[in-house]
Amino acid sequence: MHTLLIIDPQNDFCDRQGTLFVPGAGEDMQRLAGFVRSARSRLGEVVVTLDSHPSVAIERPTFWKRGDGRPVAPFTQITHEQVAASEYAPIDASLLPEVLKYLQALESQGRYKLMVWPVHCVIGAWGHNIYGPVFDAVGEWERQVQRGAFKALKGQNPLTEQYSAVRAEVPRADDPRTQTDHELIEKCRPRSGLLLVAGEAASHCVAATLEDLFEAFSDDESRRVVLLEDCMSPVSGFEANAKAFLDKSVTCGARTLNSAQALTEISRN
């Protein structure tokens, strides 16, 4: 039996009315829903991660202002140097020392600099919900196996970003939700079958989650990972990031297949 990992299949990414719509995501999720229905009897586990945010958080324009008091637009990158120079500041001035410490820690890792995204996937809002076709297909699997899919929320702490479902970019000692999610890793670990991966966006949350999973997996387990390349798309402007992620995954031993090819393979086993 195989495991299906679906990363952030949510309205704000997948629906054209979503606040952070990823071009191609709706079609990706339609294909994924078809795959789930066709592969249903071969799936022993379905894992769904959900980007889950408050409305005010460090990666949102609701958190920031410019040095002259003007608002900060989405898709603005903010660095430690700029904040230290008062080009940008948190609206809540009391958070400045903590924000500076965070940005320094984030940038020292070399993976990301802080990006201000449109407000998206706010817990309780329509945009947080699973995109309809995927919700329905996973629900059919749940009824067949008589148990729920494993759902993991990420991004709930407002003072650290969290692209990866495994851990926040800068884990906080005072919040276990930001620290390594060992239960998620074990749910995804492909001990015998394959780990089939889909979701949004390939350039960010899919890439970051898989990077952390590869770190936790053995070489043999990494070779059991299959990326459903027609069931994920990059954020516009970040196509090169998605390609780099796919290339790196292959060097880790994973394979890229489209959903039809993957279905053919698992149907043989």
Q: Are residues 228 and 252 in the same domain?
A: yes
Q: Give the model's pLDDT for residue 24.
A: 98
Which of 83, 100, 116 terminates a domain? The answer is: 116
The confidence band for 112, taking pLDDT boundaries of 50, 70 and 90, is confident
Same domain for 159 and 241? yes
Instruction: State the average pLDDT for the chain.
Output: 97
Residue 240: pLDDT over 90:
yes
Quick one: 124 and 112 in the same domain? no
Residue among 74, 12, 2 nearest 201 (CA): 12
- Asked whether residue 182 falls in the same domain as residue 100, the answer is no
Asked whether residue 88 falls in the same domain as residue 186, the answer is no
The pLDDT tens digits of the residues spanning 136-186 come to: 999 999 999 999 999 999 999 999 999 999 999 999 999 999 999 999 999
pLDDT score recorded for residue 162: 97
235 and 195 in one domain? yes
Q: What are 63-71's contacts with CB under 8 Å, separation 24+?
A: 63/90, 63/91, 63/116, 63/158, 64/88, 64/89, 64/90, 64/91, 64/116, 65/89, 65/90, 65/91
174 lies in the same domain as 219: yes
Structural domain for 172, as ranges: 2-54+120-268
Identify the pLDDT of residue 5.
Answer: 98
The torsion angles phi and psi of 175, rounded to 5 degrees, stand at -145, 100
> What pLDDT was estimated at residue 8?
98
pLDDT average, residue stretch 53-68: 97
3-state percent helix, strand, coil for the chain, nearest multiple of 5: 45, 20, 40
Please provide the distance, in angstroms rounded to a whole number, between the alpha carbons at the two ends of the chain: 9
Same domain for 198 and 107: no
Which pLDDT does position 243 carry in this prediction?
Answer: 96
DSSP structure class, residue 117: P
Do 89 and 136 have their domain in common? no
Q: 253 with 155, same domain? A: yes
Same domain, 149 and 195: yes
What distance lies between CA 236 and its chain's CA centroid? 16
What pTM value is reported for the model? 0.96
Decide if pLDDT at 33 tops 90: yes
Note the pLDDT tens digit of each residue in 78-107. Answer: 999 999 999 999 999 999 999 999 999 999
Per the CB < 8 A criterion, the answer to whether 116 and 72 are in contact is yes
Q: How many domains does the chain have?
A: 2
CATH code for the domain of 186: 3.40.50.850
Over the stretch 209-224, which tens digit does the pLDDT of each residue have? 999 999 999 999 999 9
Q: Is residue 269 very low, low, confident or very high in pLDDT (cuts 50, 70, 90)?
A: low
Answer yes or no: do 108 and 134 share one domain: no
